Structure 1
Amino acid sequence: MLTKFMVHNDYVPQSKDDHEGRFITVAGNVGAGKSTFTRILGQSLQFNTSFEKVIGNPYLEDFYRDQKRWSFHLQLYFLSQRFQDQKRIGQEKSHHIQDRSIYEDVEIFAKSLYENRKMSQRDFDTYSELFYCMMTPYLIKPDLMIFLNGSIDTVLNRIDKRGRAMEKQVPKSYWMDLHRRYEQWISEYKESPVLVVNIDEADLLARPDQVDLIKKEIQNILNVKNNYQ
């Protein structure tokens, strides 16, 4: 099955005027294809797009060499970039699709580093306080999350295929741990409806018909979502 639609029982719809625009965020493990989905669906839907900053990231290469030393710095950088994105999207009030959600930074990556003893208790507490106490009240919630999910083999093959040297230094166990965390996290996620896309079957570059299919599903979900309010 290419897609599956999910709404958590505890999801609370948000009231939104038509002129505010619709906000979609694309989530998934490293290598899942978030940037490709964001770019292609952004063009198809005629939504503005924003992408995770990898090139020019001042901490990423250091982090992959020494996760324990650089984890806090990297996570703060990503959190800052994502929050700036959120602020800009909210101010523009236009239709927008975003590569990676701010929730992943907190619930997947920072928590994984802390629980695997690559971020200290002190740093994790500071990071969590910054997000939950200072940022959360100002976040705009997505109208829809697209979650890219599939087998860990597909993720590992895509990481290997794109050939980033710094990612190849990371042990397979790290990606497998993230994969498990993503599946647990999405089952508990309740900030918005979720459209799960099976990356074992999806290939938007080679299958334009899949782009049209997913586009129609998104449009239907966003239209129906108005009835939740």
Structure 2
Amino acid sequence: MLTKLIVPNKLEPKERKNGDGYFITISGNVGAGKSTFTEIMGNALEFNTSFEKVVGNPYLSDFYEDQSRWSFHLQLYFLSQRFQDQKRIGELNQNHIQDRSIYEDVEIFAKSLHDNKKMSDRDFDTYSELFYCMMTPYLVKPDLMIFLDGSIDTILKRINQRGREMEQKIPNDYWIDLHNRYKNWIKNYTHSPVLVIDIDKVDLIEKPEQVEIITKEIKKILK
């Protein structure tokens, strides 16, 4: 199977009004193909798109050189960018697909840095408090989470293939830790239904016929 739908047991149906836009967010480890998936599926669904800001990020290269020194700064930058993006999505109320969810910032990346002693208790507590204060009153929940899942071998291969110099300096243990955290996190995600895409089998560039299959699946879920 290319896809698998997961609907949390305690998920309350989202109240919708005529004219409400659908909001899809994409999650997955570094190298899973979120940006490519967002671009292709955004075109196929005729949804607005937004992408994680990597080019021009003022902290990313420093972070990869010294994670302990720059972890708090990087996470605050991503949180600021993602909050502005998701707030705008809610205000516009149009069909939209987003490259990486805001939930991953605190529940995957910040926790990983904290657990691995690369973010202090003080910084993690401050960051987490800010995150949850921003989340509840201001941000719209997604109608669908699409999780790009696959083997760690596929993730590592893609990271190596795209050849970003700053990523090549990071030990594989870092990517493996994130991979395992994603596996556990998605099991406990409850904000929306989850469509799991098997990236070991799905390649929207090499197998464009899969775009139509996944498009139909997404439309069926949203309706």
**What residue is the counterpart of 2:167 in the other structure?**
167
- Map 1:52-201; keep pairs closer than 5 Å: 52-201=52-201
Aligned letter for 2:172?
K
**What residue is the counterpart of 2:5 in the other structure?**
5
5+ residue gaps, structure 2, are: none
Aligned letter for 2:32?
A
Distance in 1 (CA, whole Å) between partners of 2:181 and 2:135 is 23
Q: TM-score, normalised by structure 2?
A: 0.99
Distance in 2 (CA, whole Å) between partners of 1:208 and 1:152 is 24
Aligned length: 223
Q: TM-score, normalised by structure 1?
A: 0.96
Distance in 2 (CA, whole Å) between partners of 1:153 and 1:2 is 18
| 1:217 correspondence with 2:217 | yes
What displacement does 1:35 show?
A: 0.2
What displacement does 1:158 show?
A: 0.2
Aligned letter for 2:69?
R
Please tell me the root mean square deviation across aligned C-alpha atoms, in Å.
Answer: 0.7
Compare 13-22 and 145-154 and name the one that shifted more: 13-22
Distance in 2 (CA, whole Å) between partners of 1:124 and 1:18 is 40
**What residue is the counterpart of 2:16 in the other structure?**
16
Report the identity percentage: 70
Aligned letter for 2:57?
N
Cα deviation digits, residues 94-137 of structure 1 (max 9, x gap): 10000000000010000100011100000000001101123332
Q: After the TM superposition, which parts of structure 1 deviate over 3 Å for at least 4 consecutive aligned residues?
A: none
